Amino acid sequence: MKKVYLLLLGLAFISGAVAQTVSNKQNGENLNPANKIKQGTIKQLVVPAPANSILVEKDKGFGGHNCKSHELTQKYYESIGQWDQFNQDYQEAAQKIKPNQPTKITGPNTISIIFHVVHNPNNPAENVSYANIMSVYNDLVQDFQLLNSDASQARTAFGFIPADANINFCLATKTPTGTPLAELGVIRVSTTEDFYNPDTEENKMKASATGGSQIWNRNNYLNVWICDITNGASSGTAGYAYRPTTTMLPSSSIDGIVIDYNLGVNNDNILTHEVGHYMGLDHTWGGSGTCSNDDGFGDTPNTAGPSFNYSGSCSGNQTTCSSTQTQYENYMDYSNCTVMFTSNQASFMASILNGIRSSLTLSPGCDPVNAAPVAQFTADISSPIIIPVGAAVNFTDLSTNVPTSWTWNFGGGSTNQTVQNPSAVFNTVGTYTVTLTATNAFGNDSEVKTGYVQVVAAAAGTACDTLRNYNPITEDLAYYGWQTPGYGGIPGTGAFQGTNASKTFFYADKYTAPASTKVRRLRFPILVAADQSGTGLMKIRVCNDASGLPGTAITTDTLLIADMNEGFYNEFDFTNPATVTGNFWVTFEFVYGTPLDTIGLSMVDIDYRNGTIATGANTVFTYYGGTTNANGVWHPVSDLNVAIKSSLWLDVLTSNGPDPVADFTVSGTTVCTGGQITVNGSTSTNTTNYYWYMTDNPFTTIFDDDYTAGTTFTFPSAGSRAVYLFADGSCKTDGIFLPITVSAVPNATCTPTNTSCGENNGAINFTSPTGGDGSGYLYSITGTTWQASPNFTGLAAGTYTCYIKTAGDNCDRTFTRTINASTALTAGVSASQTICEGQSATFTASGGTTFEWFDGSTQIGTTATINVTPTASSQYSCIVSDGTCEATVQTNVTVNLCNSIEELIQQVKLYPNPASTEFTIQLPGDFAYELLDARGRFVHEGSSVDQATVKITTYDAGIYFLNIKNSEFQHSFRLVKQ
């Protein structure tokens, strides 16, 4: 059985209807429009707005900035008279790259990198922090090894497949003269320059003599200068690099990359883009800004220019050149959603690194300094680390001075390891100390973190615990719409006008887990889901508690408005469930497109919290204070108005139970229209609920569903179908689907041919076959023996069941056909005759209209009667025909010698011969004889009737002649005397 496995949240093709069916069925509800939430109300509210505050968020991509690599590369090569040669070399090398065959770099592929931070003390922001530099560096490492988590955003439907460039980087450990660096990979140089103009001072920061940081040997290091090239502006040039070809490099005094301290550092992928230039890549539009030129690679479609120049950048569909889809995902574009290199680009960079920049892979730039390591490490879970039994903690080595080996001791909680960055599974309840010992040729050092990991007992079974801040028995839910002035809703995006203008983009609620557990699922009603733009979505996060406010996100997932089921409870499973202990937050961020989308969640009717009906706590927080998602602060929702006291109408489902694993057996994967397939999900593990769906493939419509462990689906029409099983347990769902081919029942014209002339010469022929799976038709008249030929011949009269099928399906069509019997031609011929030699015989055939007589294979006549005079006994045949049927008749002629001399001679009997004493002559009637010796002399004579015996005892031995005669003949016989 062919099965394709996938996570529930990875089912991009399952709409809100399918996801909601799973949700409702688990909670005993039916997927029915009549089941829409009845207690929800939409109310109007007018509230003032608070003051603004600012929160800076890191951008992605160029975001409207630009790269001057193409212009500066052209300027440089024109200055040395090599621009035309440069372009020719590049295009020739690009065209030699084979499509979809990225060349993997053999041997070392690590490039030593040094960041030159050139800063003016009058602007402290230019002295970029080490943490920000490492963030840029880590992005670079991930992007060039296809480890970036956003690679999945590439639109594979258009054939845009991310490639692994297979290039690694390491941080320089010491200066070219051997002095260990205080900050791994970074050197800082102060300058009196206010900024470096990229149009006139593009290389000034690359030498100490011109107020910059002296370039390190470009054969050993990738030099990256971080400095001010925008004069502090919020837009402009984010970075640049000089490009090589396979045959020429830029000058050794300017070779490297420059990025702006602000635009180039606070934007993901800027350095990735510039390293692409450094490795020879052009912009995807080839620098021309028209559709008549591109970068020379077959797998980067033509584009009229950088993607941010066009409306709909990062939309699902963007074309700028003759309906050619723009590959705005490419790192060598400017969009804010770049996630990939193509195979051809990766292969080209490999040719550069294997060729003209091959010295980089042999650089000692990352070799250890002459000192022992200083051990340090961290983990992927913030301290205190509290995990359930069987959970893993991922540790990261932060040791300096380039250790060459590592020893991890987990205090007995997990198996000790010797890799640099281990993943340790803790299988026993307890508190454990973790020790890292880092070693190189100059010594070792240990970092000990006492009681670093606490392992708690996981909840047993597959049940879920529910955390909520509302009472569904005593409270109602509501969604509030804003009255003028303002628009939007709560909980939803709202814009308020008043003394403090603001918008709300986030909502959050705090929950408390009494013991370590995993937040696996949310269940909540969505009252409004208007996807006007086609791109609207909601980001859902689980966050740490930070002094009573939402803190660092532990996990983040996305729910598209298109996948929401308006008016129903929706269930949302986290792709990576967050482990929480104590206080934590669940937050919702609304990301709307144009025209404006709308999302309306629900919360407790405020009348139940502000004293109108009852009183209660306010737990909801909202994020506002600015004009976008990125600039605001968290407020209790009562800050909008003291009357607004509420909690989100949200179930937080937690469990430490084992993950369900969906699996099922199936009776077949192909079926014909009207056929059935039986499935059984009992082989699934850790499963409490089963959700089956039979759909088209790809999915648009649900044709049938079931909620038992096993079921039988009937397929009423032909087409591509799929059977899905969602196995649910421990507040988690695992999905599996099986493609099903439903073929039309095979059909054909089936024609019988009756027998003729009483023979077994009937036939059945199939023509014009249709239906089935198209893999080749097979035919049978027994149901057991099949053949590819549609023709069956030599059949006797009778009724036949005839079959047609195709080799790949599980059904066939039958036909009942009758072959009728026929009457044979009755022919006759004269009886056989006996004649004497020389006589003739006459024969006559009857029963037909035409006659063909044969003596053996020789035709001797074509009339009904023939006359023959054979010299020996013979058989004659005649093919008799009435114009339709034929019959063959035969007759014989026996030829005797009768009274001929030969016949008479044959009547003489002479014996014995040779003889010694006597011999006997027998001949009917009277005869006479005469015996002569060999010389013809007379010896003896006599006569007799019928028989005579002659004594020859006294005769000499030798040859004699005996003459015998009667009234009809005379003949001489030879006699031997012994």
First to last CA, the chain: 99
Least confident of 9-13, 254-258, 554-558: 9-13
Q: What is the pLDDT of residues 618-637, one digit of tens each?
A: 999 998 776 666 667 888 88
* Statement: residue 52 has pLDDT above 50: no
Contact 196, 228 (CB under 8 A): yes
Residue 29 reports pLDDT greater than 60:
no
Check if the beta carbon of residue 707 is closer than 8 Å to that of residue 25.
yes
When pLDDT is averaged across residues 576-581 and rounded to a whole number, the result is 92
Tokens 């991009």 correspond to what residue? 12
| Percent over 90 (pLDDT), the chain | 43
Say if residue 7's pLDDT is above 50.
Answer: no
Q: Which long-range contacts (CB under 8 A, 24 or more apart) does 747-754 make?
A: 747/771, 747/804, 747/813, 748/777, 748/790, 748/804, 748/813, 750/802, 750/804, 750/815, 750/817, 751/817, 752/800, 752/817, 752/818, 752/819, 753/819, 754/797, 754/819, 754/820, 754/821, 754/822
Residue 45: the pLDDT is 38
Identify the band that residue 87 occupies on the pLDDT scale cut at 50, 70 and 90.
Answer: confident
Span 382-422, pLDDT tens digits: 666 777 677 778 898 888 777 889 999 999 999 999 999 89
**pLDDT for the residue 879:** 95
Is residue 891 scored above 60 in pLDDT? yes
- Do the beta carbons of residue 435 and residue 408 sit within 8 Å? yes
Spatial distance between the Cα atoms of 971 and 910, rounded to a whole number of angstroms: 12
Cis omega (within 30 of 0) for bond into 388: no
pLDDT confidence band for 46 (50 / 70 / 90): very low
The reported pLDDT for the residue numbered 483 is 56
CA R_g for the chain: 51
> Please, how many CA atoms are within 13 Å of residue 384, restricted to the half-sphere of its CB?
14
Residue range 254-280: mean pLDDT, rounded:
92
- Per the listing, tokens 């890799």 go with 419
Between strands 237-241 and 257-260, the pairing is antiparallel
* The pLDDT of residue 632: 76
The H helix count followed by the E strand count for the chain is: 7, 60
Confidence of residue 311 (pLDDT cuts 50, 70, 90): low
Q: Sorting pLDDT into bands at 50, 70 and 90, what band is 482?
A: low
Mean pLDDT along residues 550-577: 92
DSSP assignments along 706-771, one per residue:
E-SSEEEEE--S-EEEEEEEEEEETTEEEEEEEEEEEEEEEEEEEEEE---TTSS-EEEEEEEEEE
Say if CB 198 and CB 211 are below 8 A apart: no
Helix (H) or strand (E) holding 392: strand 392-397
- Average pLDDT (724-736) is 89
**Quick one: pLDDT band at residue 19, thresholds 50, 70, 90?**
very low
Q: Which long-range contacts (CB under 8 A, 24 or more apart) does 608-611 make?
A: 608/474, 608/475, 608/476, 609/645, 609/646, 609/647, 610/643, 610/644, 610/645
On the question of pLDDT at 225 being above 70, the answer is yes
Place of tokens 């840029």: 136
**Which has more confidence, 715 or 486?**
715
Q: Classify strands 702-706 and 791-795 as parallel, antiparallel or unpaired.
A: unpaired
Edge-to-edge strands, sheet with 676-680: 665-666, 676-680, 710-714
Confidence of residue 49 (pLDDT cuts 50, 70, 90): very low
Q: What is the pLDDT of residues 288-303, one digit of tens each?
A: 777 877 888 888 998 8
Helix (H, G, I), strand (E, B) or coil at 205: helix
pLDDT-based confidence at 312, cuts 50/70/90? Answer: low
Closest CA to 583 of 616, 550, 539: 550
- State the average pLDDT over residues 808-816: 80
Name which of 793, 817, 824 is nearest 803 in CA terms: 817
327-351 pLDDT per residue, tens: 999 999 988 889 999 999 999 999 8
Where is pLDDT greater, at 684 or 292?
684
Average pLDDT over residues 551-565: 93
- Identity of residue 914: P
600 in Cβ contact with 554 (< 8 Å): no
> In Å, what is the CA distance from 593 to each residue of 59, 396, 596, 908?
18, 38, 6, 131
Mean pLDDT, residues 523-535: 91
Angle at which helices 83-96 and 343-354 cross, to 10°: 120
pLDDT of residue 101: 38
Angle, CA 614 vertex, CA 611 and CA 618 arms, to 5°? 70
- The mean pLDDT of the chain is 83
Share of the chain above pLDDT 70, in %: 87
User: 279, exposed or middle or buried, with CB in 10 Å at 0-12, 13-18, 19+?
Assistant: buried
Closest to 559 measured CA to CA, from 597, 585, 595: 597
The 10s digit of each residue's pLDDT in 644-675 is: 899 999 999 999 888 889 999 898 888 888 88
* Arithmetic mean of pLDDT, 513-523: 89
Residues in the chain: 978
What secondary structure letter does DSSP report for 402? Answer: -
Higher pLDDT, 776 or 103: 776
d(CA 305, CA 902): 120
Q: How far is CA 645 from the centre of its chain?
A: 50
Residue 766 clears pLDDT 90, i.e. is over it: yes
Tens digits of residue pLDDT in 437-457: 999 888 999 999 999 998 876
CA distance 947 to 927: 9
Mean pLDDT, to the nearest integer, of 961-974? 85
Q: For residue 103, give both structure tokens.
A: 């060349």
**Confidence band for 795, pLDDT divided at 50, 70 and 90:** very high
Mean pLDDT across 921-942: 89
- Strands 237-241 and 186-190, how do they pair? unpaired
State the amino acid at position 490 in one-letter form: I
Report pLDDT for 513: 85
- Residue 912: predicted pLDDT: 93
Cβ contact 931:960 at 8 Å: yes
- Residue, of 226 and 178, whose pLDDT is higher: 226
